[in-house]
Amino acid sequence: MPPISLGLDTFGDVSHGPDGALQPMDVTLREVLDQATLADDIGIDFIGLGEHHRPDFAISAPEIVLAAIAGRTQRIKLGTAVTVLSTDDPVRVFQRFSTLHALSNGRAEPILGRGSFTESYPLFGHDLNDYEQLFEERLDLFARLTRSQTVTWSGKTRSPLKNQQVFPNLGQPMTVWVGVGGSPESVVRVVRQDLQLMLAIIGGDAARFAPYIDLYHRACDQLGNPVRPVGVHSPGFVAETDEIAQEKLWPHYADMFGRIGRERGWPPVTKDRYLNEIQHGALYVGSPETVARKIAKTVQTLGVQRFDMKYSTGPVPHADLMQCIRLYGEKVIPMVRDMLA
């Protein structure tokens, strides 16, 4: 088995300060920069920043934050989790990432998706009724831009291009992932575009996603496209012991999912459900050994080549996030590699 790639993701959740109050977004953004710098220093493979347009997440322009991170780091891969391609212009998205790729000497790895929230649709003047067509067309155009310096393209969601060059072009190949939440059609779309599959497993047993891995391999075979690395994104949190990790994360987890749940009409968040998700689901919370064992089991069960842990869930204070990152890089990652050796 090739070496597993182990990364981190964050949405830039607006965090609590030392006084327990929510901090301004500009403080959170600077904290994200420090968190990514630490991740690079201790050998974590990837940092992904999710794009959102709502009051609980500070990152709405991830490529700008990634460019700042690029200037302070040496080796860590720089990506998104995800870029909401449906409501952006794929030409401009490509230009931002090709620029980041150049500035970071080939470290840009965008993860494209539709996102789990819909605030960007009215914000940027798009109709939710065009949800499928927007992503289908814009992913197709973005994929073409990564493979050719001159593009001819037409569709219904933006103006056509005829023998158009887009600058800056890629000086070296750029790996592009597509975030998928569990739709068979989405898996096949990734294969059709010959991009890399990132499964967002945010609830339930990760093993239930095995049929999507199988579908990916069958689609590659049927379409004659190469099998590329597959990744998994899931939330988690690491502390010195299982009990400390569970207790530190719980109030922030309850805060975030309570607010989102009220928006979406979900049942109330309870601690029993939270602990059950840690024990049996896709919440990677605990001591370094506990989290490492769970990651290794997921990698072995699904046969994936990458695992990214979303280390921020709710307004967790910066100091606790930094400790989580340090434990993940210095203890969890070596343990996972040993378990998979």
pLDDT at 2 over 80: no
* Dihedral angle, C-alpha 307, 308, 314, 319, nearest 10 °: 110
What average pLDDT does the segment 190-209 reach? Answer: 97
Alpha-carbon gap, residue 79 to 56, rounded angstroms: 21
Q: How far apart are CA 120 and CA 292, in angstroms?
A: 35
Residues in the chain: 341
Cα 217–223–224 angle (5° rounding)?
85
Give the percent of the chain with pLDDT over 90: 97
The predicted-structure confidence for 118-169, as pLDDT tens digits, reads as follows: 999 999 999 999 999 999 999 999 999 999 999 999 999 999 999 999 999 9
Can you tell me whether residue 161 is helix, strand or coil? strand
Q: Using an 8 Å Cβ cutoff, are 101 and 108 in contact?
A: yes
d(CA 286, CA 239): 6
Residue 115 clears pLDDT 90, i.e. is over it: no
pTM: 0.97
Domain 5-340 bears CATH identifier 3.40.190.10: no
Where do we find the tokens 């700008």?
64
In angstroms, what is the C-alpha Rg of the chain?
A: 19
> How far is Cα of residue 156 from the mean position of the Cα atoms in its chain?
28
Tens-digit pLDDT profile for residues 225-282: 999 999 999 999 999 999 999 999 999 999 999 999 999 999 999 999 999 999 999 9
Q: Give the residues across from 235 on adjacent strands.
A: 310
**Model pLDDT for residues 60-104, shown as the tens digit of each residue:** 999 999 999 999 999 999 999 999 999 999 999 999 999 999 999
pLDDT (tens digit, 9 = 90+) per residue, 302-337? 999 999 999 999 999 999 999 999 999 999 999 999
The predicted pLDDT at position 182 comes to 83
- Please answer whether residues 333 and 295 qualify as being in contact, where contact means their C-beta atoms are separated by less than 8 angstroms: no
- Residue 1 binned pLDDT confidence (cut-offs 50, 70, 90): low
Region of 143 (left: φ > 0; alpha: ψ -120 to 50; beta: rest) is alpha
150, β-bridge pairs: 165
Alpha carbons 84 and 67: distance in angstroms, whole number: 18
| pLDDT at 287 > cutoff 80 | yes
pLDDT at 291 > cutoff 90: yes
Task: Give the tens place of pLDDT for each residue, 30-57.
Answer: 999 999 999 999 999 999 999 999 999 9
Distance CA 47, CA 38 (A): 11
Is residue 200 pLDDT above 90, yes or no? yes
What letter represents residue 235's amino acid?
P
- Average pLDDT over the chain reads 97
Q: Where are the domains of the chain?
A: 5-340
